[in-house]
Chains A and B, each alone.
Chain A
């Protein structure tokens, strides 16, 4: 698929990617997904999203070709690839901060490399395609364990790992009240992970009833549709004994279903699903001394955050892109043990040639869509 402008994508023949660095691999994609953060690109909200770009950073596939210095992979290997592109040895990688790698993104220093995520993250083409170039093939990908389903694996490359990381950054201790803003894939996995870390209560906030139903069923959460309340902050205070939650996780991000104009309506109406409304709700609704974990995607342009309240309340704000590969060994154990079944949230399977329809369904939340998976023609 290629981007043609805001709200427009199409299928196009492109040259097969080639080895550009000795440690590159070319992977034939067998499953990719559309991520909520792809919608920032689709809506034309992420700076330096160029026409002709291919999106997609959640994928699994088969190694098709390897560069001369690749030692750990061979053509034919089935691999899952974390959404982060990282070198393994820079200052940040050496400290396990794979999402913050300094050697893969010339376009910016604030963010690492991501597949198919505008030029702000390095200008790499993404995986909603038949083939994709995988840099540092000895470092990023993992062999897909044979007991693992491809549908589970593709979700582990971003959504599950990010949700789990969101709960981790919340520093949950036994019996904590955790409130999750956003019942999209990341919110659902964050809610589920909060229990693994010993939460005593998990409350999920959204405006789409079908997603909240999933949160109740899949993530055992209490749910709350914010459109039913005049003031969601007061409601959250009420149901937490006027204390507020111990931990809040923002799994919405900036304007995930909006556009420039939504900024205006969001600020005015306080009724939008997009952020920084969600983050500001988080700041207002937690107890003093709480921790807020930000997992929603935010762009480099500033957003108006209620920093004074955060300061006065003594909040701890934690955030980062998820270092996916660091999470895998533990997440594999949880999937194996049956504590997590990532593919349970998949609602749509879309052939690559219908990508425009796939984006519209996901972006406009038609047909009770939670997570669409792309199946390339080659598969």
Chain B
């Protein structure tokens, strides 16, 4: 798994490539919680290049969204691939996380917040 971060306006975009599983989830959690450590609390996880997520990955997303919302921000997902969407749906995550077709939509969605 590879992680790249960039800032678009007031939003931190976390671009993830590879598998988010038991081998990588901890690294992702650390990176996303670090991104929330400063005065930034609006995150978009770009999952376009993620084809696999397990319960360890779901834990990383849940820990991050909890922290972000506690700070008055949010974690929003962009570009979710079909296999990842299926796992999110089964686990009920599509009702607690906001999903957008691509990064631009997810970034813009914070404008009204």
Q: Specify whether A and B are partners.
A: no
